[in-house]
Structure 1
């Protein structure tokens, strides 16, 4: 059976927020919105397809007294062939997405470990949002599995809109960590085989802002909506239980309902809607306003963003004296949402989405499927939805007069209301079914499977590794060498423990240079040498090259093109041939003449070159294949020799070593003149800053971790 025909195993990755298969807590916070519903529905829809064997949805396991115990369940079935798997990463408690970045390498290591325990690896990785994109990219580089990505929202677009709102750049960075997110998005765009978007606007209006913009790798596949759950109403308003909730707020609950349903987020622009309603006597006379903005018990205990939005809502109600005209319920269950739409439809009301930008707009589909006409932002997904469904009016979300006029035009024209309602009901079924989405999805990913080249499994020399169940890896120049007495003590230590531990070197030096300097300093020949910044792997005793690793990292590597592009960059001069290797192009970097490294990386992205770049010690610049780095090579070794990362101690001393120190390895930053380059590493259980210099720092770390007795 060919790879194209075999039943597929698809792994979806969506890390942040609260994801479960029932009673989704949509609107609980800024991270538990439409994306969580999208990925659950997508998993179920794909699992219903005939040629799909299995769909796993990987998210973060959370153990937190403030949230439901469902989120600590490691495996949760969604259907016969779909399940949620939860992976522990970092602290057990719930974290917002901006605080997850330091733990994504741990998530990637733990997820790969889980995958290795399954009967087979997935055929496709599909990441959702930038954080999952980073994880998916790491897994793809390590396994060779094709990566598909969906952004949901993008950092460059978000930063632009926050700046337009008047927020200072420093405040934006401190609150949202957008630089890290945007860099991850650029790397994902450079490495994903396919980018799936929900609308054409995402491609032309958002992804176009990125250096690695390749529209030919992008496809629009609109998500579906659950038509068994969202359907038009029958009967009367008072037959819907949620109508009793409105009676507490409204003088005339029978009037048409203007419904806004979203999480309490400043980008949803709810306050502008309230201001438009409050300033229009005609709107207040014709209709009530219903704001469903998540769930709350005490506004004072909510996170800063939600607290600010809800407080402003309450202030505006008081300023415009909207008591009796507006309802802002404190609680609603997810199962009540379809009835809320139907209640508004029975009242001959309107659904309004005034967001500053809306990446897609699942609520618009849900409202349309229940028979509600739409008034929605002209920025983002609603353009496609209303264009296809012909059931509403697009507005400038910052123009209160435009919002008012659009609402009045529907509320005062029963014929127009009915036409939009009927058109929405018909076209949601035509354009936005999950069945159609899943079929198009599978058609687009099948060609990717033919390109798949999994990393081959070597057969290690078991005699050499019979009693070795752990490893120590160290850089040479800034970690191992520098303190002669310490080096002598370390080499004695290694010789004594040699039967129980692999000794490895990870260096930017070429093999010949590494062997020469080790011999000069009487360092025992390592069992493993990872050289040229992770582009080459050699094994003792015969210093045998790992040909499988070389084939794996040759992916999309175009050294001639790279040299031609960089030849035009001032301040970059090729180092001598003795410093070059097949998978490493090395330059001298003159900071007075050369542009910043970020600009050089941008240039390579714009030329559609997917690579890893490194600036070392301020005056060296290296370009490597995208699948090669110290950390990736180290993890490849761990997979091949079946050594848990938790039993590998890595020693580094400069920024060049950061890649191999993040994640599940035990790491030590030795004392030296460059250790400040690693000061941002903050994982106290797995990254230890030694007081002793160089090799003495490695010994200090061995004792700190109780390395040889730690299981």
Structure 2
């Protein structure tokens, strides 16, 4: 450790356990974030307790995940998978169980809440644990609804909770400039109350290597122009846009799209509606023989897929941050991404790849053609991407930046120019019966209780 004191940190991530597989329905970037940040903070000498909901009755109460890092499974609702859109009703139980578990353990220097429901729990615990609350939203409800409309399945109370957290947290963490702008524009956050700390990438796991050797290991053809799409199999990821772009490429371009991700290692369109839709689209465009669905792969396997690709493509129409472009860049692969959210921050247009508008397959096809026609340019972009990652986006750097926020709060006695805590008023509007919040002791936030 440096001269800064060792911190005790309670990290709340109600639905995204660091122990969960990535790539499944409710496991993705937030799981990677919590896992990586917690490990790096532990390596720095800090003590981290990660609180996540028990979604399997066989999970132990406590798991020593890494030196200095414990995962604590909190009983809140049935011990099986529940979609995160349906979890809000169980947060009062989560808060009550967490307080009973944490209060006797140790004094905490900071509570780091990840996602709005974890923020709800953090607000409920803050006075009992006598620790400042730092909130990272990872995604904002109003932004999500701007882009997904009726497809957004979260309850309406999300906006009320997010507004209270924006004005009641001791600090807010924005993951990119767009996130910061949205907090100010949509929620009235004070600019001075926000620290911008990005997501990162594991540069030991994701690193350059031989493309031909990776293709040989994966059984891929050596002389094809391979376009990789990797991530969850959900409509907002824009995989259909990549398929349409592939169909626009001249037949003289020997392109193949490989889609990695989904619930199963062996993709089954009968059990995945989005996969069924995408397969139908590629068939209707006459390119089904040039689109391969590789299914879910463990994180340790992903490096080979990034290395094997000539270009990594991700063109969602909504993406709060997006870790996969950083993983590709760390492997030296150029990235074409849509000009949204964190992708517009991590990908430097014309330097590490290209930025295109979402839902514009023609623009994507043009960028793909350019990289196919200029392999030296593609290699230069891959090298520039790798250098950018190592300079700005390693998990070690991200953890140091977060620790600095926690240290400043701890030194300042918990508050650094934060707004006044949210008034109790809005919470009275939350609908019972799901909001029969248990009493959390004297000095707690009465407005969080019915």
**Above 0.5 in TM-score?**
yes
Query: TM-score, normalization: structure 1?
Result: 0.58
Picking from 110, 129, 135, the partner of 1:149 is 135
1:12-411 → structure 2 map (5 Å cutoff): 12-20=11-19, 24-29=20-25, 31-50=26-45, 52=46, 54-63=47-56, 72-118=59-105, 120-163=106-149, 167=150, 172=152, 175-177=153-155, 179-204=156-181, 206-234=182-210, 236-237=212-213, 240-241=216-217, 243-244=218-219, 246=220, 254-282=223-251, 285-296=253-264, 299=268, 302=271, 307-344=272-309, 349-387=310-348, 390-411=351-372
How far apart are 1:326 and its partner, in Å? Answer: 1.4
Picking from 401, 418, 424, the partner of 1:440 is 401
> Corresponding residue for 2:432?
none
- 2:401 is equivalent to residue 414 of structure 1: no
Distance 1:141 1:343 in 2: 51
> Structure 1 residues 240 and 295 mapped into 2: Cα distance closer, same or farther (>3 Å)?
farther
Distance 1:615 1:101 in 2: 14
Q: Is the 8 A contact 2:23 2:296 kept in 1?
A: no
Deviation string, structure 1 residues 475-523 (Cα, Å, up to 9, x no partner): xxxxxxxxxxxxxxxxxxxxxxxxxxxxxxxxxxxxxxxxxxxxxxxxx
Query: TM-score, normalization: structure 2?
Result: 0.90
How far apart are 1:221 and its partner, in Å? Answer: 1.5
Q: Is the 8 A contact 1:186 1:210 kept in 2?
A: no
- 2:4 is equivalent to residue 11 of structure 1: no
How far apart are 1:658 and its partner, in Å? Answer: 9.5
| Aligned residue pairs, count | 440
How far apart are 1:298 and its partner, in Å? Answer: 6.7
Where in structure 1 do 4 or more consecutive aligned residues deviate above 4 Å? 297-302, 614-617, 657-661
Distance 1:280 1:101 in 2: 45
Distance 1:434 1:80 in 2: 16
Q: Is the 8 A contact 2:176 2:197 kept in 1?
A: yes
> Structure 1 residues 405 and 389 mapped into 2: Cα distance closer, same or farther (>3 Å)?
closer
Gaps spanning 5+ residues in structure 1: where? Answer: 247-251, 455-555, 558-604, 618-629, 640-656, 662-711
Deviation string, structure 1 residues 560-615 (Cα, Å, up to 9, x no partner): xxxxxxxxxxxxxxxxxxxxxxxxxxxxxxxxxxxxxxxxxxxxx9xx77311179
How far apart are 1:313 and its partner, in Å? Answer: 0.7
Distance 1:659 1:609 in 2: 12
Distance 2:65 2:102 in 1: 19
Deviation string, structure 1 residues 27-74 (Cα, Å, up to 9, x no partner): 210x21111001100001111114x2x11111111226xxxx5xx122
How far apart are 1:370 and its partner, in Å? Answer: 0.6
Q: Is the 8 A contact 2:263 2:296 kept in 1?
A: yes
> Corresponding residue for 1:700?
none
Deviation string, structure 1 residues 132-176 (Cα, Å, up to 9, x no partner): 11111111143331000111111000101123xxx4xxx64xx33
Distance 1:370 1:614 in 2: 47
Distance 2:77 2:282 in 1: 42
Distance 2:350 2:392 in 1: 8
Q: Is the 8 A contact 1:17 1:96 kept in 2?
A: no
Q: Which structure: larger Rg?
A: 1
Distance 1:450 1:109 in 2: 28
Distance 2:383 2:414 in 1: 49
Q: Is the 8 A contact 2:109 2:406 kept in 1?
A: no
> Corresponding residue for 1:480?
none
With a CA cutoff of 8 Å and minimum separation of 6, indicate the structure with the bigger relative contact order: 2
